[in-house]
Protein backbone atom coordinates (compact mmCIF):
# COMPACT_ATOMS: atom_id res chain seq x y z
CA UNK A 1 0.00 0.00 0.00
CA UNK A 2 2.86 2.36 0.87
CA UNK A 3 4.68 1.50 -2.35
CA UNK A 4 1.49 2.05 -4.35
CA UNK A 5 0.90 5.46 -2.75
CA UNK A 6 4.53 6.43 -3.37
CA UNK A 7 4.22 5.32 -6.97
CA UNK A 8 1.08 7.38 -7.43
CA UNK A 9 2.77 10.48 -6.02
CA UNK A 10 5.81 9.96 -8.24
CA UNK A 11 3.58 9.43 -11.24
CA UNK A 12 1.64 12.62 -10.48
CA UNK A 13 4.89 14.56 -10.02
CA UNK A 14 6.23 13.19 -13.32
CA UNK A 15 3.00 14.10 -15.13
CA UNK A 16 3.16 17.63 -13.69
CA UNK A 17 6.81 17.95 -14.71
CA UNK A 18 5.99 16.80 -18.24
CA UNK A 19 3.10 19.25 -18.34
CA UNK A 20 5.39 22.10 -17.29
CA UNK A 21 7.94 21.08 -19.92
CA UNK A 22 5.25 21.02 -22.58
CA UNK A 23 4.01 24.42 -21.40
CA UNK A 24 7.55 25.86 -21.51
CA UNK A 25 8.02 24.40 -24.99
CA UNK A 26 4.77 25.95 -26.13
CA UNK A 27 5.81 29.33 -24.76
CA UNK A 28 9.14 29.07 -26.58
CA UNK A 29 7.31 28.38 -29.83
CA UNK A 30 4.45 30.82 -29.31
CA UNK A 31 5.55 33.34 -31.99
CA UNK A 32 4.98 30.54 -34.51
CA UNK A 33 1.46 29.81 -33.30
CA UNK A 34 -0.73 31.90 -35.58
CA UNK A 35 -3.83 30.05 -34.36
CA UNK A 36 -4.64 29.60 -30.68
CA UNK A 37 -6.46 26.39 -31.56
CA UNK A 38 -3.03 24.81 -32.00
CA UNK A 39 -2.04 25.39 -28.37
CA UNK A 40 -1.55 22.03 -26.66
CA UNK A 41 -2.32 23.53 -23.27
CA UNK A 42 -5.35 25.72 -23.85
CA UNK A 43 -5.87 27.84 -20.76
CA UNK A 44 -5.97 31.53 -19.90
CA UNK A 45 -2.26 31.73 -19.08
CA UNK A 46 -1.18 30.11 -22.34
CA UNK A 47 -3.52 32.28 -24.41
CA UNK A 48 -2.41 35.54 -22.77
CA UNK A 49 1.28 34.59 -22.98
CA UNK A 50 0.92 33.75 -26.65
CA UNK A 51 -0.86 37.03 -27.40
CA UNK A 52 1.78 38.99 -25.47
CA UNK A 53 4.65 37.30 -27.30
CA UNK A 54 3.13 38.20 -30.67
CA UNK A 55 2.33 41.73 -29.49
CA UNK A 56 5.96 42.24 -28.41
CA UNK A 57 7.02 41.35 -31.96
CA UNK A 58 4.57 43.80 -33.57
CA UNK A 59 2.19 40.99 -34.50
CA UNK A 60 -1.15 42.33 -33.24
CA UNK A 61 -3.34 39.68 -34.89
CA UNK A 62 -3.86 36.08 -33.77
CA UNK A 63 -6.41 33.61 -35.06
CA UNK A 64 -8.72 31.42 -33.03
CA UNK A 65 -10.22 29.34 -35.80
CA UNK A 66 -11.84 31.95 -38.03
CA UNK A 67 -11.98 34.55 -35.26
CA UNK A 68 -9.29 37.23 -35.40
CA UNK A 69 -8.07 38.38 -31.98
CA UNK A 70 -6.67 41.90 -32.33
CA UNK A 71 -4.50 43.57 -29.67
CA UNK A 72 -4.30 47.33 -30.16
CA UNK A 73 -0.61 48.22 -30.77
CA UNK A 74 -1.31 51.97 -30.30
CA UNK A 75 0.88 52.70 -33.30
CA UNK A 76 0.57 52.32 -37.06
CA UNK A 77 2.34 49.20 -38.34
CA UNK A 78 3.36 48.47 -41.97
CA UNK A 79 0.67 45.81 -42.32
CA UNK A 80 -1.75 47.66 -44.59
CA UNK A 81 0.13 48.30 -47.83
CA UNK A 82 -1.31 47.86 -51.32
CA UNK A 83 0.94 44.81 -51.76
CA UNK A 84 -0.54 43.23 -48.61
CA UNK A 85 -4.08 43.85 -49.89
CA UNK A 86 -3.23 42.15 -53.20
CA UNK A 87 -1.65 39.24 -51.35
CA UNK A 88 -4.77 38.51 -49.32
CA UNK A 89 -7.15 39.19 -52.21
CA UNK A 90 -5.32 36.60 -54.34
CA UNK A 91 -5.32 33.90 -51.67
CA UNK A 92 -7.78 31.02 -51.83
CA UNK A 93 -7.78 30.64 -48.05
CA UNK A 94 -5.80 33.36 -46.23
CA UNK A 95 -6.59 31.75 -42.86
CA UNK A 96 -4.23 28.89 -43.70
CA UNK A 97 -1.98 30.45 -46.35
CA UNK A 98 -1.09 33.84 -44.81
CA UNK A 99 -0.38 35.35 -41.38
CA UNK A 100 -3.37 36.37 -39.24
CA UNK A 101 -4.89 39.66 -40.35
CA UNK A 102 -8.17 41.54 -40.41
CA UNK A 103 -7.90 41.28 -44.17
CA UNK A 104 -8.56 37.54 -43.85
CA UNK A 105 -11.91 38.25 -42.16
CA UNK A 106 -12.93 40.81 -44.78
CA UNK A 107 -11.70 38.47 -47.54
CA UNK A 108 -13.86 35.60 -46.27
CA UNK A 109 -16.97 37.79 -46.07
CA UNK A 110 -16.41 39.21 -49.55
CA UNK A 111 -15.62 35.82 -51.11
CA UNK A 112 -18.75 34.24 -49.66
CA UNK A 113 -20.88 37.18 -50.74
CA UNK A 114 -19.64 36.92 -54.33
CA UNK A 115 -20.09 33.13 -54.35
CA UNK A 116 -23.68 33.56 -53.14
CA UNK A 117 -24.38 36.14 -55.86
CA UNK A 118 -23.06 33.77 -58.50
CA UNK A 119 -25.21 30.94 -57.12
CA UNK A 120 -28.31 33.12 -56.85
CA UNK A 121 -28.66 32.59 -53.08
CA UNK A 122 -29.07 35.23 -50.33
CA UNK A 123 -25.64 36.87 -50.13
CA UNK A 124 -25.77 38.74 -46.81
CA UNK A 125 -22.60 38.58 -44.70
CA UNK A 126 -21.82 40.20 -41.36
CA UNK A 127 -18.68 40.84 -39.32
CA UNK A 128 -18.92 41.46 -35.58
CA UNK A 129 -16.23 43.73 -34.08
CA UNK A 130 -16.33 43.76 -30.27
CA UNK A 131 -14.03 44.67 -27.41
CA UNK A 132 -13.58 47.00 -24.48
CA UNK A 133 -12.83 50.72 -24.71
CA UNK A 134 -9.53 51.37 -26.47
CA UNK A 135 -9.34 47.91 -28.02
CA UNK A 136 -9.27 49.39 -31.53
CA UNK A 137 -12.77 48.53 -32.76
CA UNK A 138 -13.18 51.72 -34.79
CA UNK A 139 -9.83 51.35 -36.54
CA UNK A 140 -10.45 47.65 -37.17
CA UNK A 141 -13.72 48.52 -38.92
CA UNK A 142 -11.99 51.16 -41.07
CA UNK A 143 -9.21 48.73 -42.02
CA UNK A 144 -11.73 46.16 -43.25
CA UNK A 145 -13.73 48.81 -45.12
CA UNK A 146 -10.59 49.98 -46.91
CA UNK A 147 -9.83 46.39 -47.88
CA UNK A 148 -13.33 45.88 -49.27
CA UNK A 149 -13.09 49.14 -51.21
CA UNK A 150 -9.77 48.06 -52.71
CA UNK A 151 -10.78 44.53 -53.70
CA UNK A 152 -14.16 45.71 -54.99
CA UNK A 153 -12.60 47.69 -57.84
CA UNK A 154 -10.26 44.82 -58.73
CA UNK A 155 -12.83 42.05 -58.49
CA UNK A 156 -15.69 43.84 -60.23
CA UNK A 157 -14.23 43.58 -63.73
CA UNK A 158 -13.74 39.80 -63.71
CA UNK A 159 -17.11 39.17 -62.00
CA UNK A 160 -19.01 41.42 -64.41
CA UNK A 161 -17.39 39.72 -67.39
CA UNK A 162 -18.49 36.27 -66.18
CA UNK A 163 -22.03 37.31 -65.25
CA UNK A 164 -23.02 40.01 -67.73
CA UNK A 165 -20.50 39.94 -70.60
CA UNK A 166 -17.58 42.14 -71.64
CA UNK A 167 -19.69 45.27 -72.05
CA UNK A 168 -20.61 45.26 -68.38
CA UNK A 169 -16.95 45.08 -67.40
CA UNK A 170 -16.03 48.46 -68.84
CA UNK A 171 -13.93 50.61 -66.51
CA UNK A 172 -16.02 52.49 -64.00
CA UNK A 173 -15.97 56.28 -63.88
CA UNK A 174 -14.84 56.31 -60.27
CA UNK A 175 -18.31 56.94 -58.83
CA UNK A 176 -18.50 53.66 -56.94
CA UNK A 177 -15.01 53.80 -55.51
CA UNK A 178 -15.77 57.41 -54.60
CA UNK A 179 -18.86 56.21 -52.72
CA UNK A 180 -16.79 53.90 -50.53
CA UNK A 181 -14.25 56.65 -50.01
CA UNK A 182 -17.02 59.00 -48.86
CA UNK A 183 -18.21 56.41 -46.35
CA UNK A 184 -14.69 56.23 -44.93
CA UNK A 185 -14.16 59.98 -44.92
CA UNK A 186 -17.49 60.63 -43.24
CA UNK A 187 -16.55 58.50 -40.23
CA UNK A 188 -14.65 61.23 -38.31
CA UNK A 189 -17.54 63.65 -38.78
CA UNK A 190 -20.16 61.14 -37.69
CA UNK A 191 -18.01 59.87 -34.83
CA UNK A 192 -17.68 63.40 -33.48
CA UNK A 193 -21.32 63.15 -32.38
CA UNK A 194 -20.71 59.90 -30.47
CA UNK A 195 -17.01 59.85 -29.50
CA UNK A 196 -15.50 61.46 -26.44
CA UNK A 197 -12.28 61.62 -24.44
CA UNK A 198 -12.28 59.20 -21.53
CA UNK A 199 -9.68 58.24 -18.94
CA UNK A 200 -8.64 55.26 -21.06
CA UNK A 201 -9.05 56.54 -24.59
CA UNK A 202 -8.93 60.02 -26.16
CA UNK A 203 -11.31 58.96 -28.94
CA UNK A 204 -13.64 56.49 -27.29
CA UNK A 205 -16.86 55.51 -29.05
CA UNK A 206 -19.70 55.97 -26.61
CA UNK A 207 -22.27 54.33 -28.85
CA UNK A 208 -22.82 51.21 -30.89
CA UNK A 209 -22.45 51.42 -34.67
CA UNK A 210 -23.86 49.39 -37.53
CA UNK A 211 -22.01 49.97 -40.80
CA UNK A 212 -23.60 48.41 -43.86
CA UNK A 213 -22.21 48.19 -47.40
CA UNK A 214 -24.73 47.23 -50.08
CA UNK A 215 -23.61 45.33 -53.18
CA UNK A 216 -25.54 45.17 -56.41
CA UNK A 217 -26.15 42.07 -58.54
CA UNK A 218 -22.89 42.81 -60.38
CA UNK A 219 -20.94 42.64 -57.07
CA UNK A 220 -20.26 46.38 -57.13
CA UNK A 221 -20.68 48.46 -54.00
CA UNK A 222 -23.85 50.44 -54.60
CA UNK A 223 -24.47 52.21 -51.30
CA UNK A 224 -23.39 52.48 -47.70
CA UNK A 225 -25.22 53.16 -44.44
CA UNK A 226 -23.84 54.00 -41.00
CA UNK A 227 -26.42 53.70 -38.24
CA UNK A 228 -25.72 54.43 -34.57
CA UNK A 229 -27.59 53.18 -31.54
CA UNK A 230 -27.31 53.01 -27.73
CA UNK A 231 -25.77 56.47 -27.42
CA UNK A 232 -24.51 57.27 -23.91
CA UNK A 233 -26.93 60.16 -23.43
CA UNK A 234 -26.01 60.90 -19.82
CA UNK A 235 -22.59 62.19 -20.97
CA UNK A 236 -24.26 65.19 -22.63
CA UNK A 237 -25.23 66.71 -19.27
CA UNK A 238 -22.80 65.01 -16.91
CA UNK A 239 -19.45 63.70 -18.12
CA UNK A 240 -17.52 61.57 -15.58
CA UNK A 241 -14.72 63.28 -13.67
CA UNK A 242 -11.58 63.69 -15.78
CA UNK A 243 -13.46 62.98 -19.03
CA UNK A 244 -15.03 65.22 -21.66
CA UNK A 245 -18.31 65.68 -23.46
CA UNK A 246 -18.75 64.66 -27.10
CA UNK A 247 -16.20 65.98 -29.59
CA UNK A 248 -18.81 67.82 -31.67
CA UNK A 249 -19.27 70.59 -29.07
CA UNK A 250 -15.55 71.39 -29.00
CA UNK A 251 -15.28 71.16 -32.80
CA UNK A 252 -18.22 73.52 -33.18
CA UNK A 253 -16.75 76.20 -30.92
CA UNK A 254 -13.26 75.87 -32.42
CA UNK A 255 -14.37 76.01 -36.05
CA UNK A 256 -17.36 78.29 -36.04
CA UNK A 257 -16.77 81.76 -37.60
CA UNK A 258 -17.07 84.67 -35.20
CA UNK A 259 -20.09 86.27 -36.95
CA UNK A 260 -22.10 83.05 -36.69
CA UNK A 261 -21.02 82.49 -33.09
CA UNK A 262 -22.18 85.99 -32.19
CA UNK A 263 -25.44 85.48 -34.03
CA UNK A 264 -26.10 82.33 -32.01
CA UNK A 265 -25.01 84.01 -28.74
CA UNK A 266 -22.28 81.44 -28.12
CA UNK A 267 -19.10 81.92 -26.12
CA UNK A 268 -15.79 81.15 -27.81
CA UNK A 269 -14.29 78.84 -25.15
CA UNK A 270 -15.49 75.44 -23.90
CA UNK A 271 -14.43 76.53 -20.42
CA UNK A 272 -17.36 78.96 -20.45
CA UNK A 273 -19.81 76.05 -20.38
CA UNK A 274 -20.34 73.85 -17.33
CA UNK A 275 -21.18 70.89 -19.55
CA UNK A 276 -17.83 71.14 -21.39
CA UNK A 277 -15.39 71.80 -18.55
Contacting residues for 206 by C-beta, under 8 A, at least 6 apart:
194, 195, 196, 198, 231, 232, 235, 246
CB 140 within 8 A of CB 178: no
pLDDT for the residue numbered 154: 63
Mean pLDDT highest for which of 43-57, 158-172, 188-202? 43-57
pLDDT for the residue numbered 164: 35
34 or 171, which is more confident: 34
The number of beta carbons lying within 10 Å of the beta carbon of residue 153 is: 16
CB 39 within 8 A of CB 46: yes
Note the pLDDT tens digit of each residue in 100-153.
999 999 999 999 998 998 888 888 999 999 988 888 888 898 899 889 888 876
pLDDT for the residue numbered 163: 40
CB 196 within 8 A of CB 235: yes
CA distance 84 to 70: 17
Amino acid sequence: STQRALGQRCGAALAELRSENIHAHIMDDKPLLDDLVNLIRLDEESILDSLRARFDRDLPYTLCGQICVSVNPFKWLPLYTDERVKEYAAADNPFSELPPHLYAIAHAAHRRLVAALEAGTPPSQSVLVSGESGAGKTEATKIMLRYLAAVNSVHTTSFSTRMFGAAAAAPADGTLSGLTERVLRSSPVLESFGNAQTLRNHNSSRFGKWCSLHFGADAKISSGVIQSYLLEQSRIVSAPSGERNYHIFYYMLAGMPEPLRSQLYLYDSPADYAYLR
